[in-house]
């Protein structure tokens, strides 16, 4: 019995079965590499669903987190904190929004945006109480709370968890005509992912966000972009929507914001919107804690100092080029932006899971998204040589 097997048994027995992880047990990580409890080394091509854009334990972020631990880690929002003030200034300068509201998880940031949209709908747009509608897209993934799964189109996420929160309308992703038709005088906002990561790296046609923003503006409807997975360099731009000439009214970030160390998420908007919250209307005990803020500050510094956004763009092109050259009989399409890459397999290939298991046996960790897509989303610090190593294994497995 290996150490891994013993621990997996404990998991099966004592942990809720809300995940189906690959059968390895990790103990250590560094950069793009992780080690299991039996000492086997793997390349991490999942990056905690893009929360690890900076790689595991980036030394500069770890160093600043350690120093922060020697000062103050948590104080709640009942008091001001040095690090929160610095974080708010830094992230609003980076993103060019007036204001920020920090939370912890991505789902909490999405919930925050939904509350904000509804308040704006009643106070500013003067939609009758409580009739505001928010338009979302099919195959969306915005998190796991009851309200968020209320507007999921995925049966697994949703089916056992009603009664559901009303006030949402689902339209097909990438369909501008559907958006036009769905808007009514009661529409408050359009919430969308620039690339649908969890749905299998689905990319709308070029110009979709721009067209959507134009229609929304014409109808006094807010745009809210969920960049929790696609943000902070993942797709080769600071935010994925920057591939187009758009600026959402509300920007939602999370995952990599904490530099792969601490959970921290945020909602960004200008003062006429985010200024609507008054004391008592929203909050979070851990939201914006000094330790998470310092990790986010370090993460933003590293993103810039190490040119990770440019790297993501270059390495992404390099990776996709190499994957396209493989000419595997199983592959239907290679797609992506920056280092968010999907290999969609043909139905005959029999699902992506068994390929992910074969890659794991060779020391490369990635995960199927939905049935037929292998997602490759390594930390942005990955080198060309490391990509070459990974592609060789993908090639052998897809032969
Ligand atoms: C991961 C993710 C979320 C939810 O974030 P959590 O931190 O898991 O709550 C929301 N939206 C998108 C696009 C995501 O990828």
Single pTM value for the model: 0.98
| 355 and 321 belong to one structural domain | yes
Of 256, 287, 305, at which residue does a domain stop? 305
| 144 and 97 belong to one structural domain | yes
What is the spatial distance between Cα 123 and Cα 336, in angstroms, rounded to a whole number? 39
Of 261, 285, 305, at which residue does a domain stop? 305
| 300 and 315 belong to one structural domain | no
Q: What confidence tens digit (pLDDT) does each residue in 259-308 have?
A: 999 999 999 999 999 999 999 999 999 999 999 999 999 999 999 999 99
Which of 229, 232, 240, 367 to mutate to test ligand 1, by most ligand atoms within 8 A of the CB atom? 229
Cα separations in angstroms, 178 against 194, 199, 250: 17, 19, 21
* CATH number of the domain where residue 53 is located: 3.90.1150.10
Structure tokens at 64: 């600043």
Q: Does 35 have pLDDT greater than 90?
A: yes
Q: Does 229 have pLDDT greater than 90?
A: yes
Specify the ligand 1 atom closest to the Cα of 104.
7
Mean pLDDT within 189-201 = 97
Phi–psi pair at 391, nearest 5 degrees:
-65, -35
Domain hosting residue 52, numbered range: 3-58+307-397
Cis peptide before 293 (omega within 30 of 0): no
Cα 349 → chain centroid = 28
Q: What confidence tens digit (pLDDT) does each residue in 303-350 have?
A: 999 999 999 999 999 999 999 999 899 999 999 999 999 999 999 999
| 76 and 21 belong to one structural domain | no
Q: What is the DSSP letter of 332?
A: E
Q: Using the mean position of ligand 1's atoms as its centre, give its distance from the Cα of residue 344 in Å.
A: 22
User: Is there a catalytic annotation at residue 98?
Assistant: no
Q: Which of 87, 226, 239, 337 is catalytic?
A: 226
Asked if 288 and 77 count as a contact pair (C-beta separation under 8 A), the reply is yes
90 assigned to some structural domain: yes
324 assigned to some structural domain: yes
- Count how many domains the chain has: 2
Of 305, 320, 335, at which residue does a domain stop? 305
14 assigned to some structural domain: yes
Give the residue carrying structure tokens 């998204």: 369
Q: Using the mean position of ligand 1's atoms as its centre, give its distance from the Cα of residue 149 in Å.
A: 12
| 43 and 180 belong to one structural domain | no
64 assigned to some structural domain: no
Nearest to 20 by CA among 353, 296, 279: 353
């Amino acid at each position: 019995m290996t150490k891994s097997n013993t621990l997996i048994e404990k998991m099966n027995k004592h942990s809720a079965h809300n995940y189906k992880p690959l059968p390895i047990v990790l103990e250590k990580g560094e950069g793009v590499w992780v080690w299991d409890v039996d000492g086997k080394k793997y390349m991490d091509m999942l990056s905690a669903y893009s929360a690890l854009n900076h790689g595991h334990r980036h030394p500069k972020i770890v160093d600043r987190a350690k120093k922060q631990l020697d000062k103050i880690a948590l104080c709640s929002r009942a008091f001001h904190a040095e690090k929160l003030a610095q974080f708010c200034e830094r992230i609003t300068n980076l993103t060019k929004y007036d204001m920020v509201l920090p939370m912890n998880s991505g789902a909490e940031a999405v919930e925050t945006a939904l509350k904000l949209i509804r308040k704006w709908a009643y106070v500013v747009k003067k939609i009758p109480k409580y009739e505001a509608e928010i338009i979302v897209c099919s195959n969306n993934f915005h998190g796991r709370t009851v309200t968020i799964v209320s507007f999921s189109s995925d049966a697994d996420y949703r089916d056992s968890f009603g009664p559901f929160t009303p006030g949402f309308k689902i339209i097909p992703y990438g369909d501008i005509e559907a958006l036009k038709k769905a808007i009514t005088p009661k529409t408050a906002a359009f919430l969308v992912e620039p690339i649908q990561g969890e749905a299998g790296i689905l990319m709308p046609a070029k110009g979709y966000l721009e067209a959507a923003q134009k229609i929304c503006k014409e109808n006094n409807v807010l745009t809210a972009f969920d960049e929790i997975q696609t943000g902070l360099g993942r797709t080769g731009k600071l935010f994925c929507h920057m591939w187009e000439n758009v600026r959402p009214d509300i920007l939602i970030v999370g995952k990599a914001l904490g530099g792969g160390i601490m959970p921290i998420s945020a909602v960004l908007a200008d003062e006429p919107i985010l200024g609507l919250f008054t004391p008592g209307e929203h909050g979070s005990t851990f939201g914006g804690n000094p330790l998470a803020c310092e990790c986010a500050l370090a993460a933003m510094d590293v993103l810039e100092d190490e040119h990770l956004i440019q790297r993501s763009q270059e390495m992404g092109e390099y990776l996709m080029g190499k994957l396209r050259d493989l000419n595997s009989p199983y592959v239907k399409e290679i797609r992506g932006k920056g280092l968010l890459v999907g290999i969609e397999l043909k139905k005959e290939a029999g699902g992506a899971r068994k390929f992910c298991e074969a890659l794991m046996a060779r020391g490369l960790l990635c995960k199927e998204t939905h049935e037929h897509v292998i997602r490759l989303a390594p930390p942005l610090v990955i080198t060309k040589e490391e990509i070459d190593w990974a592609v060789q294994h993908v090639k052998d497995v897809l032969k």
